[in-house]
Amino acid sequence: MEQTFMKEKKILPLVISMSLPMVISMAVNSLYNIIDSYFVARMSEDAMTALALVFPVQNLINAIAIGFGIGMNACIAFYLGAGDEKQANQTATQGTLLSFLHGALLAAICMAGMPFFLKNFSSDQKITELALLYTNRAFLFSPVIALGLSFEKMFQAVGQMKVSMFSMMCGCIVNILLDPVMIFGIGFFPAMGIAGAAYATGIGQCVTLIVYLAFYAVCRPPVKLGRAYMKFDRSILKKMYTVGISATLNLALPSLLISVLNGLLAAFSGKYVLVLGVYYKLQTFIYLTANGIIQGIRPLVGYNFGAGEHGRVKKIYKTALTMNIGIMMLGMLLSWLIPEKLIGLFTNSAETVEIGITALHIISLGFVISAVSITCSGALEGLGKGYPSLFISLLRYTAVIMPAAYLFSRFAGADGVWYAFCFTEFISAGFSFFIYKKETTVNHRHLNMS
């Protein structure tokens, strides 16, 4: 398969063709997350609270796996754009092996540390037991998840988005089908409760990996895995980890943020902690199209940058930004038009729904402007600029929102935490645009000098 279409096809159709499969697969994945939470919520509010407490650690595991995968993705796309097939193969081979090792290490560390982690956020023994019941099973599948994500990013880097879409959808559909069967017990399956939700998730991830392996064996993508490419190259490792560590921190910082906000909200009521957990489930669904576009443009930006097509990089960025602004506007409208239906998916408590409606109304005011930060960060990762992208995430998830949430909660109570989200997006957007312009100006000057 020739990748030259990445620098020859018209920008808008190209961005849509690369992004649409990712949007569809992420939509199915988000639907799974919502359905998974829906079935767990039918068990009890304690079970849903347990998942909310586990979410930051689960998100951290995924963040490390996805972040390193983004490092692989950026390097493979760059080397293909530069016409260096050997280094693209080395990146894919070494990245896949390292991804598996990362997953195994994460499983061991997180399972050992969960009791201590939970002790800091809940004194309810029942909730803690439910959380441990879930994590001791779900985290066993971390190596499988990491390996599957490495294949996902490899196929995306060469423009085979439909392979990634199909593989992810297969796993998600299996998850959706197995959730009620394994949670409540249907047919010969026993009722396993929250443990069943963990097993359903893990089995779905195994299916995704199997489908990727089948596609690799049958279709033979442009990059190859093999012993000949196992000798570690320090320059390749540096490139992968520079982008990968920054992307990981970008994705992991929300886990730190949620943990801090849980601590602030727990002082008011456990219902606010539940609402925050529900919001992050909904946020995944609301932001999925924007994130799908970012996944679509990363290899385009990397490939065109490697090929020296800087004018196309600029046009790809502008196209993605315009599309993301429209998408986030729709997300804000839904949050105002049907908030009770969205929150009501996860709880039957009228008080919790009321708190959730207020939270969605306030937080969604920052959705549209957040498109600037999201697009700038994704484009910078595609350029291999991991550290500037990390700085944007530090603004969004630590430097601004944490102190703002603390200060606003002193004056406006728990609602102050929701206002901090909106406030942060406006501040971060201004800095993000400035950082992106500065970094791309430096790249353009470097090109002219060379």
CA 216 to CA 138: how far, in whole Å?
26
Q: Is residue 1 part of a domain?
A: no
User: Mind giving me the DSSP string for 76-108?
Assistant: HHHHHHTT-HHHHHHHHHHHHHHHHHHHHHHHH
Predicted local confidence at residue 247, as pLDDT: 76
Helices 386-394 & 367-382 angle (0-180, nearest 10): 160
- Condensed to tens digits (0 to 9), the pLDDT of residues 239-250 reads 888 878 877 877
Task: Give the pLDDT band (50/70/90) at residue 443.
Answer: low
Element (H, E) at 248: helix 234-266
Q: Is residue 172 part of a domain?
A: yes
Number of domains the chain is built from: 1
Task: Give the pLDDT band (50/70/90) at residue 447.
Answer: very low
pLDDT of residue 155 exceeding 60: yes
pLDDT of residue 365 exceeding 50: yes
CA 116 to chain centre: 25
Q: Is residue 450 part of a domain?
A: no
Predicted local confidence at residue 32, as pLDDT: 65
- Condensed to tens digits (0 to 9), the pLDDT of residues 382-409 reads 887 878 888 888 888 889 999 999 999 9
Task: Give the pLDDT band (50/70/90) at residue 221.
Answer: confident
Coil, helix or strand at residue 343: helix
- Condensed to tens digits (0 to 9), the pLDDT of residues 35-79 reads 777 777 777 777 877 877 887 788 778 888 888 888 888 888 888
The answer to whether 339 touches 347, Cβ cutoff 8 Å, is no
Which one is predicted more confidently, 120 or 379?
379
Residue pointed to by tokens 């442009």: 222
Q: Is residue 241 part of a domain?
A: yes
Task: Give the pLDDT band (50/70/90) at residue 328.
Answer: very high
DSSP letter (8 states) at residue 222: S
Predicted local confidence at residue 137, as pLDDT: 87
The answer to whether 251 touches 392, Cβ cutoff 8 Å, is no
Domain extent for 419: 9-445
354 by Cβ neighbours in 10 Å (0-12 / 13-18 / 19+) ranks as middle
Task: Give the pLDDT band (50/70/90) at residue 113.
Answer: confident
Predicted local confidence at residue 425, as pLDDT: 94
What is the average pLDDT across 353-363?
90
CA 209 to CA 215: how far, in whole Å?
10
End-to-end alpha-carbon separation of the chain, Å?
31
What is the average pLDDT across 218-226?
82
Task: Give the pLDDT band (50/70/90) at residue 449.
Answer: very low
Q: Is residue 24 part of a domain?
A: yes
Choice among 51-55, 202-206, 377-381, 414-418 with the minimum mean pLDDT: 51-55
Single-letter amino acid code for the residue at 373: S
Q: What angle do CA 162, 165, 166 make, to 5 degrees?
A: 85
Other residues' Cβ atoms within 10 Å of the Cβ of residue 450? 6
Token pair listed for 308: 């020296």
pLDDT of residue 1 exceeding 50: no
Q: Report the percent of the chain where pLDDT is more than 90.
A: 20
Other residues' Cβ atoms within 10 Å of the Cβ of residue 235? 10
Q: Which residues contact 142 (CB under 8 A, 6 or more apart)?
A: 61, 65, 103, 104, 106, 107, 110
Q: Is residue 3 part of a domain?
A: no
What is the average pLDDT across 152-164?
83
Which one is predicted more confidently, 81 or 330?
330
Single-letter amino acid code for the residue at 395: L
313 by Cβ neighbours in 10 Å (0-12 / 13-18 / 19+) ranks as buried
Question: What does the mean pLDDT of the chain come to?
Answer: 84
Predicted local confidence at residue 30, as pLDDT: 65
Token pair listed for 80: 């293909």
Q: Is residue 4 part of a domain?
A: no
pTM summary value: 0.72
Task: Give the pLDDT band (50/70/90) at residue 29.
Answer: low
Helices 142-157 & 45-81 angle (0-180, nearest 10): 40
Element (H, E) at 219: helix 194-219
pLDDT of residue 448 exceeding 50: no
Predicted local confidence at residue 450, as pLDDT: 39
pLDDT of residue 437 exceeding 50: yes
CA 291 to CA 178: how far, in whole Å?
27
pLDDT of residue 281 exceeding 80: no
User: Mind giving me the DSSP string for 10-69?
Assistant: -HHHHHHHHHHHHHHHHHHHHHHHHHHHHHHHHH-HHHHHHHHHHHHHHHHHHHHHHHHH
Token pair listed for 126: 């029942």
Predicted local confidence at residue 15, as pLDDT: 85
Most confidently modeled of 118-127, 209-218, 278-287?
209-218
The answer to whether 236 touches 243, Cβ cutoff 8 Å, is no
Single-letter amino acid code for the residue at 247: A
Q: Is residue 403 part of a domain?
A: yes
